[in-house]
């Protein structure tokens, strides 16, 4: 049965550069006087609050335009884990500033994923309880006010160049950009134009609001970046109130500041955006809109994992073009898919601790993730017997209609879990590979004249087999040695090298089992000029009918087991019903891809 542990009960991971930064900041009392009014807000709002009881504030800010994936798990454990370890709070914030790609379905799935990993946003402190679940769209009013402040102070202007003109005039990595012909309008002109944008008087894409910084900056991101655009689209939270929306690079630092985030932890692709992050917050603080100390952004290397794609665009393509059955397909690297596959939150915690946090991009082998899941499941999953490729074994000298109890430990590492009863009868199911009429060298299982032990049962001697018209073996015959039953004084009277598992044909549960493998056959799907879809592993799932020990018929959705000799399996959360579970293979007992 599943015995999922709280993934947050493990010891804190080894130190890394982000932890060192936080330790230094706390040692210097950098945030000791920071005020918090109990909810996000501007400088005036927080001035009414008390000194923040949270020593640090981090945030996990997913955009609700897709399902969370394995890379997000790393960020979740990092942000929530740092807050937990340093006496702080991590905010759950939906960065829903792009109305065209967002939906409530994604909001719900993201919330479920964070909770499944063991984290929440209801927090309790000396000033009372607070829910730290936030939506960036709730800050649109302030963002608009902040944009007007930039315009009024000469730090932003409305640009009416076409997208192509803006791109050409932006310059290159070696050549400076050119000033827009609209760059030197007066603040009053820009303010009037911006309000016309807000009031819907201009067409989508006809103009943008740009920050006024430096078109000759060596950092292209500082060459007057766009901060607002005209976009008529229905928003899942604000409806049709707005026809202008902030750009992410503008919205994100504002959101952090309103929430009094101390350490804004991003992946490395945002490193070049950090100067704008700091520039913007300083201008808004100078205008009296935001309070010091301001958030600081820090970047770490995102997760690059072999044999998967983590690009949202590619994941959406896989789902929409039906290369997979949905966002929760067990072959996908989404958290919903991983959970349905039988991966565990504790396994992801071990994985993120093991790969660590660094500033250097690198590739992580998928086998490391699989090994972490094996390591956790080896401890947590009870053992059961399953025959995945069944062939009939008949014990000719066993009494017809008779059955007897054999006893199998529920977990070899946990004797306190005791033993369970498995029935033995005249006809059994065994694995097809456990019989060879003409054995190869080193084969110690069933062969004519050979002897093996039926695990937890008797020693049997093979007497022959039956075949169909095509020469395929259909039934194996044997005789049992009645004084050799496991657990009895005579169990060691006959020594054999082979030991095979089995289930009673009269008591077995016939079950659908899905043998999942990697979705891609190449370590780097789509590398070079290849289409990543050409690298799909056409054998990534095999659906079989297996014979399982009777107790597995009572398994509930998401119960995990080790099927002896085969690997770890989970009762499917979607297709299992009471009394008729369907099982998915989570991971084999060892690396099946090892070359």
Does the pLDDT of residue 6 top 60, yes or no? no
**Distance from C-alpha of 335 to C-alpha of 329, rounded to nearest angstrom:** 10
Q: How many residues does the chain have?
A: 595
Nearest-angstrom CA–CA distance, 65 and 320: 14
Active-site residues, by number, are 63, 302, 312
Give pLDDT tens digits for 251-262.
999 999 999 999
**Mean pLDDT value across residues 405-412:** 96
Query: Looking at the predicted structure, is the pLDDT value of residue 513 above 70?
Result: yes
Peptide bond into 314 cis (omega under 30): no
Residues facing residue 514 across a β-bridge: 543, 584
- Residue 3: what pLDDT? 43
Of 87-101, 124-138, 141-155, 545-559, the least confident: 124-138
How far is the CA of 245 from the CAs of 100, 149, 156, 159, 336, in angstroms? 11, 16, 15, 15, 30
Provide the pLDDT confidence category of residue 361 given band limits of 50, 70 and 90. confident
Task: Mark out the alpha helices in 56-103 (DSSP H runs).
Answer: 70-85
Q: What number is the average pLDDT over the span 32-50?
A: 96
Report d(CA 159, CA 167) in Å as an integer: 12
Residue 424 and residue 507 in contact, taking contact as beta carbons nearer than 8 Å = no
pLDDT of 347 strictly over 60: yes
Report the pLDDT averaged over residues 71-97: 95
Q: Report whether pLDDT(10) > 70.
A: no
Host H or E run for residue 146? helix 140-152
Q: Which residues contact 26 (CB under 8 A, 6 or more apart)?
A: 55, 56, 86
Contact 265, 18 (CB under 8 A): yes
Residue found by looking up tokens 């884990």 in the block: 81
Q: Is the pLDDT of residue 8 over 70?
A: no
The pair of structure tokens assigned to 158 is 């409305």
Q: SS3 letters for 210-268?
A: EECCCCCCCCHHHCCCEEEEECCCCECCCECCCCEEECHHHHHHHHHHHCCCCEEEEEH
pLDDT at 2 over 50: no
In the block, residue with structure tokens 């967002």: 102
For residue 594, is pLDDT > 80?
no
């Amino acid at each position: 049965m599943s015995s999922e542990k709280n993934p947050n009960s493990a010891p804190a991971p080894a130190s890394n550069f982000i932890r060192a930064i936080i330790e230094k900041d706390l040692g210097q009392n950098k945030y000791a006087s920071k005020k918090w009014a109990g909810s996000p807000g501007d400088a005036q709002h927080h001035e009414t609050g008390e000194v923040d009881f949270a020593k640090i504030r981090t945030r996990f800010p997913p955009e609700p335009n897709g399902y969370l994936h394995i890379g997000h798990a790393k960020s979740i454990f990092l942000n929530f884990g740092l807050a937990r370890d340093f006496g702080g709070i991590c905010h759950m914030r939906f960065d829903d500033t792009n109305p065209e790609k967002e939906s409530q379905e994604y909001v719900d799935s993201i919330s479920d994923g964070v909770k499944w990993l063991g984290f929440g946003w209801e927090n309790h402190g000396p000033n009372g309880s607070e829910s730290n679940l936030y939506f960036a769209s709730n800050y649109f009013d302030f963002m608009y006010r902040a944009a007007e402040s930039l315009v009024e102070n000469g730090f932003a202007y409305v640009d009416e160049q076409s997208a192509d003109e803006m791109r050409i005039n932006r310059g290159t990595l070696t050549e400076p950009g050119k000033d827009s012909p609209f760059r030197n309008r007066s603040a009053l002109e820009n303010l009037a134009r911006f309000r016309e944008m807000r009031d819907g008087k201009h067409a989508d894409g006809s103009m943008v609001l740009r920050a006024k910084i430096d078109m000759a900056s060596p950092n292209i991101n500082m060459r007057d970046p766009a901060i607002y655009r005209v976009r008529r689209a229905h928003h899942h939270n604000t409806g049709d109130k707005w026809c202008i929306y902030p750009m992410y690079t503008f919205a994100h630092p504002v959101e952090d500041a309103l929430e009094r985030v101390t350490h804004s932890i991003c992946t490395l692709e945002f490193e070049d955006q950090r100067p704008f992050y700091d520039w913007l917050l300083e201008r808004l603080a100078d205008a009296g809109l935001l309070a010091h100390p301001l958030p600081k952004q820090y970047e770490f290397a995102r997760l690059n994992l072999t044999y998967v794609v983590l690009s949202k665009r590619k994941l959406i393509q896989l789902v929409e073009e039906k290369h997979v059955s949905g966002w929760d397909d067990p072959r996908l690297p989404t958290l919903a898919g991983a959970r349905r596959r039988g991966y565990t939150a504790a396994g992801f915690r071990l994985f993120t601790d093991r790969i660590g946090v660094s500033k250097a991009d690198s590739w992580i082998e998928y086998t490391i993730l699989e090994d972490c899941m094996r390591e956790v499941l080896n401890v947590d999953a009870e053992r059961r017997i399953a025959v995945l490729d069944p062939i009939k074994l008949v014990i000719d000298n066993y009494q017809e209609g008779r059955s007897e109890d054999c006893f199998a430990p529920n977990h070899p590492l946990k004797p306190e879990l005791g033993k369970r009863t498995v029935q033995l009868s005249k006809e059994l199911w065994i694995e097809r590979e456990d019989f060879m009429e003409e054995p190869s060298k080193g084969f110690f299982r069933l062969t004519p004249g050979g002897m093996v032990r039926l695990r937890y049962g008797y020693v049997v001697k093979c007497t022959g087999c039956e075949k169909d018209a095509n020469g395929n073996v259909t039934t194996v015959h044997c005789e049992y040695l009645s004084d050799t039953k496991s657990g009895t004084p005579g169990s060691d009277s006959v020594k054999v090298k082979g030991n095979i598992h089995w289930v009673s044909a009269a008591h077995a549960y016939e079950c659908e089992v899905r043998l999942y493998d990697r979705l891609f056959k190449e370590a780097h799907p789509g590398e070079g000029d290849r289409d990543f879809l050409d690298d799909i592993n056409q054998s990534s799932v095999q659906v079989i009918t297996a014979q399982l020990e009777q107790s597995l018929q009572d398994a509930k959705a998401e119960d995990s087991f080790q099927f002896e000799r085969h690997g770890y399996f989970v009762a499917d959360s979607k297709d299992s019903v009471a009394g008729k579970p369907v099982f998915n293979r989570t991971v084999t007992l060892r690396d099946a891809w090892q070359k």
